[in-house]
Amino acid sequence: MNKLMMGRYFSGDSFLHQLDPRTKLFATLYIIALLFFVENIWGFLLLFAVTFFIMHQTGIALVAFINGVKPLIWLILFAVMLRIFFTGGGIVYFRAGPVMLSSFGLITGFYTFSRFVLMIFISTVLTLTTKPIDLTDAIHALLKPLQIFRISINDFALMLSISLRFIPNLLDETTKIVDAQRARGVVFGKGNIIQQMKKLVPIVLPLFASSLKRAEELADVMEVKGYQSDQKRTRYRQLKWQVRDAVALLMIVLLTAAVVFVNRL
Amino acid sequence: MQIVFNQVKADYQLGPIRTANIINEVNLLIADQSFTAVIGPTGAGKSSLLKMINGLLLPSAGSIQVGEYSITPSCKKQTLAAIRKRVGMVFQFPEHQLFAETVEQDIGFGPTNFGFSREETRLAVIESMGKVGLDPALLQRSPFSLSGGQQRRVAIAGIIATKPDVLVLDEPGAGLDPEGKREILTMIQELHDNHKLTTVLVTHDMDDVVAYADNVVVMANGQVMCQQKVEELFADKEALVKWKIDLPEPLRIQRCIEEQCGRAFSSASLTLEALADLLLKEYFA
């Protein structure tokens, strides 16, 4: 239960930790988009090198990033297998009906694998080096243009930060309830899938009950304290654009240029 | 059942991070049918110690002997299941674990898991409701519709329904009004006496320690600092200061009186009656 590494913030004072969350969020999305423009093996090698450099810069052990990939490894392998066995072209080594193994298939398989892994690595860098609350601010900032369409960004940001805020509480509570039910004789990881699903009821129901209760109390408290969602709000944490953010964006531009150049090789 | 901790170490492993030992080199003997209170500051490892008796937290080194069973770092699931059947564990705010549609189903959850037949479960539910003082008319009610105090009784009934030999409790009175708290603890003491249970109670309240426990274990930083008879601990002024232990109410009053008259009395009083006797003795003897 405590092994959820994705989205866990590691404190530190690296260049990446100090970057403005808006820059980090934008750069992450940009690099992920860039992954889809890479067309050859050199491009992927370049992006692997850049990603590993960024990961090294965070000062966080590699194992934390690998753990981010672990829960998704079967999904990734499934997608890669589809790519490998259903893509034709180049030298065909083996063929059985629609299934085949070709040199082209192997290469696209490698591309798919690299895209997935790099995507997870890069987004893990974001979540490991950015406090959830900063991330919410960044999302809020990037969504601001939507206000033109009269969509209430503030409500959305508030919902987001409240849910992020209560994730640790929910995890704690889950651990406690799991322990309490284990003490009452529930054995997890035993029996067929239906039996296993049934065992979740004694955990999920108390969690729902307490979450609903807490949501109600929180809403009451906010109302008592005079919270109104349609008011103009000032912010406690002011985001400031700094030199290092400009440097980071410049590096992004250089990376784009490098990708464009490498694509021509 | 007798519980023996033998050179036990434990930590909570969190992904790649290994925390410092939350339980460190603990040696402890909890005698059969004793009522032991575990005290110590927040984060001393009291709750972890309780979890270890139930096999919810496995040792990283050492072993724990619970009756004829032994919990080791590489313990089999069957052993743990057998231990959990013999050891009932009441968590802090046990009412948070309620989930079933009716009180009957919720109390019967543990017995069913531990392999009681339908008939045995039904009998165990009714019997344990009686023990915790719940009206059998509540059987078909939803546990969520009950009052806080009743919910806690239902939760405790769900644990004693499996007829454990050892009962471990983590602050069973937390969050209740003084009246409700005393009722719950008195009920636990009756269970302890009537069913020859071995009881381990974690508490912050020294008045509870004095009122219900025979033995007391003081913990700090994951280690057992001392294990004594309740009277011995509170008679030991140095130890009380050293481990920053609060005083039970009568002893606090006694200390105030001692300070006012500038001399220490011969013994430490743990009940108001004892304090009254002591004052009579000190002044009129």
Of A61, A181, A187, the CB nearest to B97: A181
Given a cut of 90, is residue B12 above it in pLDDT? no
Mutate to test the interface with B, among A6, A70, A184 (most CBs of B within 10 A): A184
- For the stretch B200-253, pLDDT in tens is 999 999 999 999 999 999 999 889 999 999 999 998 888 898 888 889 989 999
Distance from C-alpha of B176 to C-alpha of B54, rounded to nearest angstrom:
25
Structure-token pair, residue B230? 């309740």
Are A184 and B109 within 8 A, CB to CB? Answer: yes
pLDDT band, residue A2 (cuts 50/70/90):
very low
Which B residues in the span 141-160 are in contact with A, Cβ-Cβ below 8 Å?
144, 158-159
Select the more confidently predicted residue: A255 or A241. Answer: A255
Task: Give strand ranges (E) for chain A.
Answer: 92-96, 99-102
Question: Are B83 and B176 found together in one domain?
Answer: yes
pLDDT of residue B210: 92
pLDDT of residue B24: 87
Question: What's B97's domain CATH number?
Answer: 3.40.50.300
Residue of B nearest to A68 (CA): B15
- For the stretch B73-102, pLDDT in tens is 888 888 888 999 999 999 999 999 999 999
Average pLDDT over residues A206-233: 88
- SS3 (DSSP) at B255: helix
Could you list the residue range(s) of the whole structural domain that residue B143 is in? 3-242
Neighbour count for residue A136 (Cβ, 10 Å): 23
Q: A115-119, A193-197, B137-141, B153-157: which range is least confident on average? A: A193-197
CA distances from B62 to B1, B5, B43, B79 (A): 19, 8, 21, 16
Question: Are B255 and B227 found together in one domain?
Answer: no
Q: Residue A93: which of A83, A103, A84 has the closest Cα?
A: A103
CA distances from B23 to B45, B53, B171 (A): 6, 12, 19
Question: Are B149 and B261 found together in one domain?
Answer: no
**Total domain count, chain B:** 2
Contact B3, B198 (CB under 8 A): yes
Residues of B in contact with A185 (CB under 8 A): 81, 84-85, 109-110, 113-114, 162
Query: Does B39 reach chain A within 8 Å, measured CB to CB?
Result: no
Are B51 and A179 within 8 A, CB to CB? Answer: yes
Question: Are B173 and B72 found together in one domain?
Answer: yes
What is the ipTM metric for this complex? 0.86
Question: Are B251 and B166 found together in one domain?
Answer: no
pTM above 0.95, yes or no: no
Average pLDDT score over chain A? 86
Question: Are B156 and B132 found together in one domain?
Answer: yes
Residue of B nearest to A60 (CA): B16
pLDDT of residue A169: 84
Are B84 and A183 within 8 A, CB to CB? Answer: yes
Question: Are B133 and B175 found together in one domain?
Answer: yes
Question: Are B210 and B269 found together in one domain?
Answer: no
Rounded to the nearest 5°, which phi and psi values hold at B234? -75, -15
Q: Distance between the two ends of chain B, CA-based, in angstroms?
A: 45
- A120's CB contacts (< 8 A; 6+ apart) are A65, A68, A69, A72
Of the candidates B227, B242, B257, which is a domain's last residue?
Answer: B242
CA distances from B267 to A30, B156, B212, B275, B283 (A): 76, 38, 20, 9, 14
Q: Distance between the two ends of chain A, CA-based, in angstroms?
A: 47
